[in-house]
Amino acid sequence: MAQHPIFQYFREERLPHMTMTHVITAGHSEKHARLKHLHKTELELFYVAHGIGEYEVGRHAYQVQKGDMIVCNAGILHGEEPTAKRKLLSYCITLTDVALRSLPDNHLLLPEEYPVIHCGGLAKQIEEIMRLLAMFSGDLQTLGPICDSLSCGVLLTLLEIARSSARHTPPPKTDDAVAKRIKTFLDQHYDEPLSLERVADTLHISVSYLSHVFKKEYGEAPMQYLYKRRIGEAQTLLIDTQLPIGEISDRLQYGTLNHFNTIFKKYVGMTPGHYRKSFQIMDLDGKNED
């Protein structure tokens, strides 16, 4: 039997699988930032259906607008800075088992490529498919294969747009070697009990030098970065799992639920419980959209 033409794009006859979809309204986006987070084994596609704003991928912040698709490869930090201005209606899907030829697993673009794809004349069609995916995700047990096929179509369409259009490449940023070691340590151990003293001892540097070099390179104190990383991961757990809020607080080393609520509200603008409920409402509205 002849191989299906679609496998010219994929390795090992593996086809992508859609794992999650979310709708974020413009009003919610304006008031409640989705802090930086990453997916270890999933590719995220974030489509801007309306509005303008700023979105960070890796070390770069990008101005995005209606018709833009933001590509967040697996393992890449991405999200929003709480102080940045934005008002975006967006559709988001995550995919796993993405094995495109000549690319790492769960990547749509090479790591050094510009992660914003301007959908141009195909924006209307891509938006409609993203909207359908949000609707169909309400019954993945029945409609899962359709969602996989539709999301695969979006993926390959974006790949062709990226290959056929003139692409910007973000200017390279070479991290200070010591600052990068500190950031890597925080990213790998954010769910452990950490203090400046422990980080400094582990990396064999002084606390004062650690704080100075990190802030000089990244513009914020290392513990502030750690708090935001934990909040970003807490948002993922609140959105994508049913874990009790107290368990999420414990996992991310907040000590007490009251402390977790206070820090979360400081950066996101609402309590963890209200945040989880707000996503449930937005997703339900997206699934029930006529």
CATH number of the domain encompassing residue 10: 2.60.120.280
Same domain assignment for residues 211 and 129: no
239: domain CATH number is 1.10.10.60
Q: What pLDDT does residue 191 have?
A: 95
**What percent of the chain lies above the pLDDT cut of 70?**
94
20-34, 64-78, 91-105, 154-168: range with lowest mean pLDDT: 154-168
C-beta of residue 277 within 8 angstroms of C-beta of residue 284: no
Structural domain range at position 208? 177-280
Same domain assignment for residues 204 and 128: no
Q: What pLDDT does residue 138 have?
A: 84
Q: What pLDDT does residue 123 have?
A: 97
288 located within any domain: no
Same domain assignment for residues 117 and 41: yes
Give the pLDDT band of residue 272 (cuts 50, 70, 90): very high
Domain limit, last residue, from 119, 134, 164:
164
Same domain assignment for residues 183 and 274: yes
Per residue in 191-243, pLDDT (tens digit) is: 999 999 999 999 999 999 999 999 999 999 999 999 999 999 999 999 999 99
Q: What pLDDT does residue 1 have?
A: 46
Same domain assignment for residues 193 and 141: no
289 located within any domain: no
66 located within any domain: yes
Same domain assignment for residues 155 and 109: yes
286 located within any domain: no
51 located within any domain: yes
Number of separate domains in the chain: 2
Q: What pLDDT does residue 14 have?
A: 86
Q: Is the pLDDT of residue 70 over 60?
A: yes
Same domain assignment for residues 153 and 201: no
In the block, tokens 């699934």 appear at: 287
42 located within any domain: yes
Give the pLDDT band of residue 277 (cuts 50, 70, 90): very high
- How many CA atoms lie within 13 Å of 76's alpha carbon, on the beta-carbon side? 26
Same domain assignment for residues 143 and 255: no
Same domain assignment for residues 154 and 196: no
Same domain assignment for residues 269 and 201: yes
Q: Is the pLDDT of residue 19 over 60?
A: yes
Q: What pLDDT does residue 223 have?
A: 95
Same domain assignment for residues 74 and 120: yes
Same domain assignment for residues 69 and 92: yes
Residues 10-27, mean pLDDT to the nearest whole number:
92
Domain limit, last residue, from 122, 139, 164:
164
Domain limit, last residue, from 136, 164, 192:
164
